[in-house]
């Protein structure tokens, strides 16, 4: 490139840079006016560059009104289910099983006979007690008829023998009844662990019966919810193995202390199981929702940070004011903060880079500038 071309290009670049500086830099317009390049603006701001530009109108910004939002506390936990009532049936007496009247999975009612032990000895004892009672009763009746010929003591002893015979018969019938193993509750029988001919003792487990008309779910809860969880509060639970189905229930009981090691306390929820879809031992994903507190909500672009933490620039009477905030909850389109902000206050979301405390600003979005504040809908 020839020398004169290089000079021409350099002059053009300097001219463009100088013009950009004069038009864009603060006070540049005044320099142009002073050299007569531009006319002075008419009184009242009717001509020239609009008020609110980079000259006397203040720093141009965009603001957004403060709204409100609610923090919805949600508790989730994993719990284990158990039947509302569950009984392991044991014999009251030792003996050999002669009859087994249920199979695994049968539905039983309270009082139904599950199994029968060998009762021949007990039947014999009952029959002997009945004979003894008949004899004592007849003797007592005879003594009462001839009481004028015998002493009162003999009448009294005969009556005592009769009462003793009655008690012996009741004892024999009780021993005989204990040879029958009955269901103590309504429910569904589990796997029967004995067979006919087995000799069982009072520690032998015959079968487990579960009343699963309702399922109890115990789950740990962090201590920060200690004042929020109450009996009767609604609960939603889904099976960990089948999360697509949700079961509704309520809190039945709350533990009275917090575990020092885990900083949690136990809560028991009750789920209705009318269709018998749930089983004891299943694992549940439990959730509870609590009404949260209301906080000011700002646009995420308004949140700024410095060495002291988070803050926003608030637009007050045409000036920028730094307001400290504490972030409560961050969502994609809004941030809930704890701060001295009221609903419909204006916070600056654009043009933040040039702001300082007390700087005059012009809000090009809401029409508020150094001379006023935008009106917002109530």
Report, as an integer, the average pLDDT of 22-43: 52
Q: What is the pLDDT of residue 378?
A: 33
203's tokens: 């520690």
β-strand partners of 335: 298, 330
- Secondary structure, 3-state, the chain: CCHHHHHHHHHHHHHHHHHHHHHHCCCHHHHHHHCCCCCCCCCCCCCCCCCCCCCCCCEEEEEEECEEEECCEEEEEEEEEEEEEEEEECCCCCEEEEEECCCCCCEECCCCEEEEECCHHHHHHHHHHHHHHHHHHHHHHHHHHCCCCCCHHHHHHHHHHHHHHHHHHHHHHHHHHCCEEECCCCEEECCCCCCCCCEECCCCCCEEEEEEEEEEEEEEEEHHHCCCCCCCCEEEEEECCEEEEEEEEEEEEECCCCECCCCEEEEEEEEECCCCCCCCCCEEEEEEEECCCEEEEECHHHCEEECCEEEEEEEECCEEEEEECEEEEECCCCEEEECCCCCCCEEEEECHHHCCCCCEEEECCCCECCCCCCCCCC
Looking at the predicted structure, is the pLDDT value of residue 364 above 70? yes
Confidence of residue 26 (pLDDT cuts 50, 70, 90): low
Q: What is the pLDDT of residue 37?
A: 53
19-28, 96-105, 108-117, 252-261: the lowest-pLDDT one: 19-28
24-38, 70-84, 130-144, 256-270: the lowest-pLDDT one: 24-38
Calculate what percentage of the chain has a pLDDT beyond 90.
60
> pTM above 0.75?
no
Residues 36, 355: Cα–Cα separation, whole Å: 32
Q: What is the pLDDT of residue 377?
A: 36
| Other CB atoms within 10 Å distance of the CB of residue 189 | 21
Higher-confidence residue of 295 and 34: namely 295
Name 278's Cβ contacts closer than 8 Å, sequence gap at least 6.
Answer: 81, 212, 215, 239, 247, 271
Residues 354, 363: Cα–Cα separation, whole Å: 14
Say what the alpha-carbon torsion angle 291, 294, 300, 305 is, to the nearest 10 degrees: -110
Q: What is the pLDDT of residue 1?
A: 53
Express each pLDDT in 264-282 by its tens digit: 999 999 999 988 889 999 9
Q: Are the beta carbons of 49 and 268 closer than 8 angstroms?
A: no
Looking at the predicted structure, is the pLDDT value of residue 258 above 50? yes
Cα-based distances in Å from 165 to 130, 133, 160: 8, 5, 9
Higher-confidence residue of 309 and 151: namely 309
Looking at the predicted structure, is the pLDDT value of residue 98 above 70? yes
Looking at domain 119-178, does it have CATH number 1.10.287? yes
Q: What is the pLDDT of residue 90?
A: 95
Report, as an integer, the average pLDDT of 72-86: 89
Cα-based distances in Å from 107 to 102, 103, 188, 209: 9, 9, 4, 9
243's tokens: 């999360």
Compute the half-sphere exposure of residue 257: CA atoms within 13 Å on the CB side of its CA.
3
Name 311's Cβ contacts closer than 8 Å, sequence gap at least 6.
Answer: 303, 304, 305, 322, 323, 324, 325
Residues 311, 109: Cα–Cα separation, whole Å: 68
Looking at the predicted structure, is the pLDDT value of residue 292 above 90? no
Q: Do the domains 119-178 and 76-83+206-290 match in fold?
A: no
Report, as an integer, the average pLDDT of 116-140: 93
Looking at the predicted structure, is the pLDDT value of residue 375 above 60? no
- Round the average pLDDT of the chain to a whole number and report it: 84
Q: What is the pLDDT of residue 153?
A: 86
Express each pLDDT in 37-65 by its tens digit: 555 444 444 444 444 444 445 789 999 99
- Of 59, 25, 63, nearest to 354 (Cα)? 59
Confidence of residue 2 (pLDDT cuts 50, 70, 90): low
Q: What is the pLDDT of residue 250?
A: 94
Choose the CATH number for 59-71+294-363 among 1.10.760.10, 2.40.420.20, 3.30.413.10, 3.40.50.300: 2.40.420.20
Confidence of residue 144 (pLDDT cuts 50, 70, 90): confident
What are the domain boundaries of the chain? Answer: 1-49, 59-71+294-363, 76-83+206-290, 119-178
Q: Are the beta carbons of 49 and 38 closer than 8 angstroms?
A: no
Residues 316, 368: Cα–Cα separation, whole Å: 10
Higher-confidence residue of 283 and 44: namely 283
Confidence of residue 19 (pLDDT cuts 50, 70, 90): low
Cα-based distances in Å from 75 to 135, 153, 294: 73, 78, 18
Report, as an integer, the average pLDDT of 174-199: 94
Q: What is the pLDDT of residue 180?
A: 95
CATH number corresponding to 76-83+206-290: 2.40.30.170
């Amino acid at each position: 490139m020839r020398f004169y071309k290089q000079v021409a290009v350099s002059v053009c670049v300097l001219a463009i840079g100088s013009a950009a500086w004069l038009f864009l830099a603060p006070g540049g317009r005044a320099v142009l006016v002073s050299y007569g390049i531009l006319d002075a603006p008419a009184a009242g701001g009717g001509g020239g560059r609009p008020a609110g530009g980079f000259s006397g109108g203040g720093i141009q910004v965009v603001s957004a009104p403060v709204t409100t939002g609610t923090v919805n506390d949600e508790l989730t936990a994993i719990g284990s289910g158990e039947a509302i009532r569950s009984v392991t049936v044991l014999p009251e007496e030792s003996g050999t099983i002669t009859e087994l009247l249920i199979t695994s999975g049968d539905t039983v009612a309270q009082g139904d006979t599950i199994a029968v032990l060998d009762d021949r000895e007990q039947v014999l004892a009952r029959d002997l007690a009945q004979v003894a009672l008949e004899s004592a009763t007849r003797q007592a009746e005879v003594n009462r008829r001839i009481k004028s010929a015998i002493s009162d003591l003999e009448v009294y002893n005969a009556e005592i023998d009769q009462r003793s015979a009655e008690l012996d018969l009741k004892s024999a019938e009780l021993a005989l009844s204990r040879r029958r193993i009955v269901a103590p509750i309504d429910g569904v029988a589990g796997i029967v662990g004995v067979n006919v001919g087995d000799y069982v003792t009072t520690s032998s487990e015959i079968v487990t019966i579960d009343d699963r008309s309702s399922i109890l779910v115990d789950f740990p809860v962090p201590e920060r919810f200690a004042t929020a969880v109450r009996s009767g509060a609604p609960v939603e639970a889904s099976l960990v193995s089948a999360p697509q189905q949700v079961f509704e229930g309520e809190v039945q009981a709350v533990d009275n202390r917090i575990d020092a090691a885990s900083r949690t306390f136990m809560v028991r929820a009750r789920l209705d199981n009318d269709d018998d879809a749930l089983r004891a031992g299943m694992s549940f994903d439990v959730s509870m929702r609590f009404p949260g507190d209301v906080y000011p909500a700002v646009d995420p672009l308004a949140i700024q940070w410095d060495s002291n933490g988070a803050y926003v620039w608030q637009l007050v009477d045409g000036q920028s004011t730094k307001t400290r905030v504490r972030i409560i909850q961050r969502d994609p389109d809004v941030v809930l903060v704890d701060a001295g902000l009221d609903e419909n206050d204006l916070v600056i979301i654009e043009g933040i880079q040039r702001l300082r405390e007390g700087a005059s600003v012009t809000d090009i979005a809401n029409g508020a500038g150094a001379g006023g504040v935008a009106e917002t809908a109530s």
